[in-house]
Amino acid sequence: MLIYLFVLCLVPPILIALLLLLRKGHSNKVITAVLFATLIHELCLVTYPVLHSILKDFYFEKLMAISISTNDMIKVMLGESIYVLMFCLVLMFGLGMSKSWRKNKNDVSSGSFIIPKTEYVLLGLLIIVGSFLFAMGLFLLGTRIENSVVAQFYDWATGAFFSITPIIASAILITKKQSFRKYPLLSMFALICLISVVIIGILMGLRGRIMWVASFIAIAGYLNSKRKYLFISVLLIVIILPLFSFLGGQYRGMAAESLMSGGRPLDLIKIILEEIKDKSIVAEQNMPFLDSFAQRAQGPRNSVVLYKLFEKGTGANPSVYLGSALFPVPRYFWPEKPIPGSLDDNPENSAIYKVVDIGYNLPYMGSLLASAHAYWEGGWIAVILYGFLTGLLWFWIFVFCSKLPEHLAWIIALSFLASLLIDGFLTALYPLYTYILIAWKYVIPTLVLYGALKFFKSASYLRRT
């Protein structure tokens, strides 16, 4: 049975790699970046942990609160393989038949440092507001904002529109050719934004934040034909890599406790230094890095929970989409509005909580496979259908982005690439409800903001004439 599991865990990355090879020379950079990021995600967070389980006799699976057999893992990887196959087939035929996506109408990715005025203003607004919010968040760690209106605005801004888009915009700007010479002040704001996100990630034990910054810099560098930024991203990860085994659940608990008791960033730095010196936390997780990484890459084994839930007759229902579809409706008017991805207004009834609650008896979020979420919603038919729909969605995203100005298109595409960043890795494969949510949180506000800037620019031009 292990040979079947071994083969199935290799199928998803092989399919994506084949799609990349078949479209080589026929796809624009956005498509290549999206597919390559998805390939890395599948290799690191799907294939690798399953191979580790095979070699280590399912050590981490045996530590879970539920019984997991080899057949369970085979079923999960069969679902993932079918899901990825449908995704790749739709993209291959869709991109092969359509020519509209091949070149952005304002393609300047040859290395030009020129940013059209309206796009520059858009990037500037995102970067300046984002740098202010992230820097404010860094200095206010452990501080409660007393003004309720300010507190609610800050929570909305950092949890919705300005949670990802400023990072993308900052990465795009600093990787532009001669950006610090051409746009020195805005480039400094972009650096403040990115550095603040990384520091918050270290202080709070949120490894994913560090991966966000590194991933977006690498992709933006590729899109801007500045591949040296790929090496800068790798260097960033390598430098902070020794902290990754330390920034785990125990440290996050200590950080949260310190902040709730009135601690400030300097207090957290002292905790980090003292604990590293005493090795009390590192000793608890005293295992080789590759084992530690496999432990954290929980998606495949967590997904078994969703398969078991559906087979017990406790699968999802359409209400998992209701919270995403009605995301803009204020909870003030509908206190019982469902949480996106949840069966009701209780977040613990969403899949990302259920897999940890049932799998480990812990009240936290956990990673899962999009194919498993599809199975939880409707069994094998849903796995096939949702794989098809995911490929179709990305085809529409690529076609839509090809009609937009280049830098705006990058923000839109990369926003969808960051739909559910539980583990910090970017991928095109997410549960379908997250695409609705990301449209409301990032895409529509970005398009509205850009449209408003274009309108004011046109109005100003008409007044002058």
Which percentage of the chain shows pLDDT scores above 90?
43
The whole-number pLDDT of residue 262 equals: 56
Over residues 94-123, the mean pLDDT reads 65
Alpha-helical regions (H) of 65-206: 70-97, 117-139, 148-159, 161-174, 179-182, 184-204
Other CB atoms within a 10 A radius of the CB of residue 271 amount to 18
Amino acid identity, position 399: V
Considering the chain, what is the average pLDDT of its residues? 82
pLDDT category, 266, cuts 50, 70, 90? Answer: low
In terms of pLDDT, which residue wins out, 226 or 38?
A: 38
Q: What is the pLDDT of residue 267?
A: 66
Average confidence (pLDDT) over 135-161? 62
pLDDT, tens only, 13-43: 999 999 999 887 777 889 999 999 999 999 9
| Interval 372-392: pLDDT, tens | 999 999 999 999 999 999 999
pLDDT in tens, 49-85: 999 999 999 999 998 989 999 999 999 999 999 999 9
| Lowest mean pLDDT across 47-56, 163-172, 330-339 | 330-339
List the one residue out of 50, 101, 168, 39 whose CA is nearest residue 429: 39
Q: Which two three-digit tokens encode residue 93?
A: 């035929």
215: CB partners within 8 A, 6+ apart? 37, 233, 424, 425, 426
Q: What is the predicted pLDDT for the residue at 285?
A: 53
Nearest to 138 by CA among 188, 190, 233, 202: 202
Return the higher-pLDDT residue of 102 and 247: 247
Residue 286 confidence (pLDDT): 60
| Of 68-77, 101-110, 337-346, the least confident | 101-110
By the 8 A CB rule, do 382 and 395 touch? Answer: no
235 φ/ψ angles, rounded to the nearest 5 degrees: -60, -40
Answer whether residue 110 shows pLDDT above 70: no
Using left for φ > 0, alpha for ψ between -120 and 50, and beta otherwise, residue 426 falls in beta
Higher per-residue pLDDT: 294 or 281: 294
Global model pTM greater than 0.85: yes
Return the pLDDT at 289: 76
